[in-house]
């Protein structure tokens, strides 16, 4: 009986750990909003959903300012993240393009995104850029994990917003700025722990 009890206890601990891990993963969030107050490493943010959020910047948090860029900056070999909308003919039309800083480790993939309903995100390397009747067509290659490399063709139009990043510090974060946080854990007390944050230096983060 003691042996059975120990096995059951161990199983319960493992199950509890698994549930806790799943809960922690499920609490990772994206934040789009406006800074209302800055107090040291703590930001009070009004989210786009009109919710008050508390963000705590981690030691060494990376801060970047979003700046204007153009299609001429989107060259072969550059790593980009492109939000796109699927079209009736099966093509993809770019809503926004953000050019990752050189050397940044990028999570290459193609997946559903929440900028607007039905939008998609493609993170990868620009292979080619070719002029087309309806705009410039980019071929973006991405390699997700151990899967073979894949490509997506995405049309860029005059309405596509294109941005880059400028290095910044915590001191550059001010009330009134628009911010974007891609993936941050929400702690048990509701505080969001932030390791990377972008703010609108020249224009609001379009991501």
Q: Which helix H or strand E contains 120, and what residues bound it?
A: strand 120-132
When pLDDT is averaged across residues 131-155 and rounded to a whole number, the result is 91
Structure confidence by residue, pLDDT tens digits, 6-55: 444 444 444 444 444 444 444 899 999 999 999 999 999 999 999 999 99
In order of 34, 48, 170, the CA distances from 43 in angstroms are 10, 15, 10
pTM over 0.75: yes
The C-alpha atoms of residue 34 and residue 31 are separated, in whole angstroms, by 10
- Residue pLDDT, tens place only, 148-169: 999 999 999 999 999 999 999 9
């Amino acid at each position: 009986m003691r042996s059975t009890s120990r096995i059951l206890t161990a199983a319960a601990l493992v199950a509890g750990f698994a549930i806790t891990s799943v809960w922690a993963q499920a609490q990772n969030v994206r934040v789009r909003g406006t800074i209302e107050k800055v107090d040291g490493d703590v930001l009070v943010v009004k989210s786009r959903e009109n919710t008050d959020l508390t963000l705590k910047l981690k030691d060494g948090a990376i801060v970047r300012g979003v700046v204007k860029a153009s299609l001429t900056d989107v060259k072969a070999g550059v790593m980009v993240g492109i939000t796109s909308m699927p079209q009736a003919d099966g093509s993809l039309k770019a809503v926004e393009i953000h050019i990752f800083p050189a050397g940044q480790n990028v999570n290459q993939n193609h997946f559903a995104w929440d900028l607007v309903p039905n939008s998609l995100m493609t993170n990868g390397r620009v292979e080619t850029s070719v002029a087309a009747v309806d705009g410039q067509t980019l071929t973006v290659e991405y390699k997700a994990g151990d899967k073979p490399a894949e490509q997506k063709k995405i049309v860029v139009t005059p309405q596509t917003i294109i941005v880059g990043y400028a290095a910044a510090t915590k001191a550059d974060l001010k009330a009134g700025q628009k911010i974007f946080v891609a993936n941050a854990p929400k702690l048990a007390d509701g505080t969001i722990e932030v390791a990377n944050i972008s703010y609108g230096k020249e224009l609001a983060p379009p991501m």
